[in-house]
Amino acid sequence: MRIFGIDPGSRRTGYGCIETDGTRCRLVLCGAVVSPSSVSFPDKLTGIFDELIVRLESCRPSVVAVEEVFNARNAKSALKLGQARGVALLAAAKTGLPVAEYTATAVKRAVVGYGRADKEQVQRMVTLLLGLEKAPSPHDVSDALAIAICHAYAGSLAETAGRSSGSKTSVKSWRRFRPSV
């Protein structure tokens, strides 16, 4: 099963696609949509949407996993982040893919084993779990991959692939993961 993770952001939106057989995960594709600061906000949203559509169509995942709740320091940032998240959800819906949503705490708990892990810890565990030689960078990319890995751990793959947006899932620990050697 292929899982496409998205870490939405108005300046940089991370994405990552993994493939899993239920016990092991491997990297298919990852990257970030980066918008120059000189571009208007509506054009940034258009760029995010267009790039995600291209990536979703090329990867052909079974499901898209997106971070459910976001943190922002002020209301203006929260609104922009919410709009970028909405564009990510729209791209998934436009390609006909089911969406699973996870809180940041659930993602960290699934990947690191601790819900308050920092970005460096998440990045190191993603590198380890996917057997990568180099850590995915920037953090938006490793966060997107962590979201995809979280979905892989969220329970039986057959069951979670059919879940729709808004469903609550119980996340299994990374301790059950058996990396390929």
7 assigned to active site? yes
Active-site residue, selected from the candidate residues 68, 101, 140, 143? 140
Active-site residue, selected from the candidate residues 7, 19, 68, 143? 7
SS (H, E, C) 113-176: CCCCCCHHHHHHHHHHHCCCCCCCCCHHHHHHHHHHHHHHHCCCHHHHHCCCCCCCCCCCCHHH
140 assigned to active site? yes
Owner of token pair 């099963």:
1
Query: What burial letters (b/e) apply to 86-99, b meaning 16+ CB within 10 Å?
Result: ebbbebbeebebbb
Active-site residue, selected from the candidate residues 19, 67, 68, 143? 67
Q: Which residues are catalytic?
A: 7, 67, 140
